[in-house]
Amino acid sequence: MPRFLPRVSSRFFPSLLAAALAGGLCLGLAGQPARAQDDGAYTVLLDWFLNPDHAPLVVALQKGFFAEEGLEVELVEPADPNDPPKLVAAGQAEVAVSYQPMLHIQVGAGLPLTRIGTLVATPLNTLLVLADGPVETIADLKGKRVGYSVGGFEEALLAAMLEPHGLSLDDIELINVNFALGQSLLAGQVEAVIGAYRNFEKHQLALAGGQGKFFYVEEEGVPPYDELILVARSDVQPDPRDDAFLTALERGVQYLINHPEESWELFVAYKADLDDELNARAWDDTLPRFALRPAASDAGRYRRFAKFLQDQGVVGALPPVEQYLRAAD
């Protein structure tokens, strides 16, 4: 794995989503046509390449928890991280790993999706600067260059973080660094980057010889949200296997928290290229972020974040969150 592997965002705008929907959902996984579900497998489409964010799924699979619930679970890495929610909405997979912010955006654009569970229950997104750089506080961003990868949502996060410090986006220079977040910092192209994940980018920076400092979005004016969630199709009857899937996933989380070292061995044994220095460093930082009750939901939290996105102009009118937030029994 490269020291700075570009983490392609699965975030995109409602206009792009609408165009994709208008053009149809003939999408593929790993370069292949989306398969019809005729083999009885319960397919989980990941949001990107397999990494420690997906550890509860891997542990539940490796420990046989899914099998004990009568499920044959298949984890699939997508060729394009934008595809999984759309494939689920088209009925070509049972569940996709996605993001709470994207769920609001996609539902607002008309995609029939609902959240059925949570993997990572805190934001991972941060504003990242060099520890020995010129930015000691967010107020120091005035007149500075800030790198980003995908506009819209990341700009909304940044605007909310700047506001309590008397700044706005007009006070900084935004530069699209095309997913080269760490490289742009080390090269002096920018003084800060928005969109860095707290469990990965700081370690990527350290492996390249730099030291980072995080500003956490939820401590700087952004309502807390679930980073990684599980979404299913909302315009059909719920899959009767969903409850069994979430029960097994909860067992995976419990085992992971109780036995982190054994879980690491299970994780790296699942796929050869998982056993690398970056994943090893990210492992401990990721463990505290997992949802201990994956099926549990918090409608108030989702309402607050929906309002944040509306206030920031990221989304327009939205249905009540209860329509796309499946409550646990």
How do residues 297-307 score in pLDDT, each as one tens digit? 999 999 999 99
Residue 3 has pLDDT above 60, yes or no: no
Which CATH superfamily includes the segment(s) 125-219?
A: Periplasmic binding protein-like II (3.40.190.10)
Q: Tell me the mean pLDDT in the region 16-44.
A: 48
Q: What would the CATH number be for the domain defined by 14-122+226-323? A: 3.40.190.10
State the amino acid at position 164 in one-letter form.
P
Query: Which pLDDT belongs to residue 151?
Result: 75
Q: Do the beta carbons of residue 217 and residue 123 sit within 8 Å? A: yes
Residue 64 has pLDDT above 70, yes or no: yes
Question: Domain boundaries in the chain?
Answer: 14-122+226-323, 125-219
pLDDT digits (tens, 9 = 90+) for 281-318: 999 999 999 999 999 999 999 999 999 999 999 999 99
Torsion from C-alpha of 20, 111, 301, 246, nearest 10 degrees: -110
Residue 26 has pLDDT above 90, yes or no: no
pLDDT-based confidence at residue 9 (cuts at 50, 70, 90): very low
pLDDT digits (tens, 9 = 90+) for 231-273: 999 999 999 999 999 999 999 999 999 999 999 999 999 999 9
Do 14-122+226-323 and 125-219 agree at the fold level? Answer: yes
Query: What is the CB neighbour count within 10 angstroms for residue 2?
Result: 9
* Torsion angles phi and psi, residue 74, rounded to 5: -120, 120
Q: Tell me the mean pLDDT in the region 164-188.
A: 94
Query: Which pLDDT belongs to residue 39?
Result: 53
Residue 80 has pLDDT above 70, yes or no: yes
pLDDT digits (tens, 9 = 90+) for 207-225: 999 999 999 999 999 999 9
Gap between the Cα atoms of 119 and 280, Å rounded: 19
Q: Model-level pTM?
A: 0.87
Residue 194 has pLDDT above 70, yes or no: yes
Query: Which pLDDT belongs to residue 96?
Result: 98
- Computed over every residue of the chain, the mean pLDDT equals 88
Rounded (5°) CA angle 81-87-90 = 155
Write down the H helix ranges in 209-313.
242-258, 260-270, 277-286, 299-311
Residue 21 has pLDDT above 90, yes or no: no
Gap between the Cα atoms of 312 and 221, Å rounded: 12
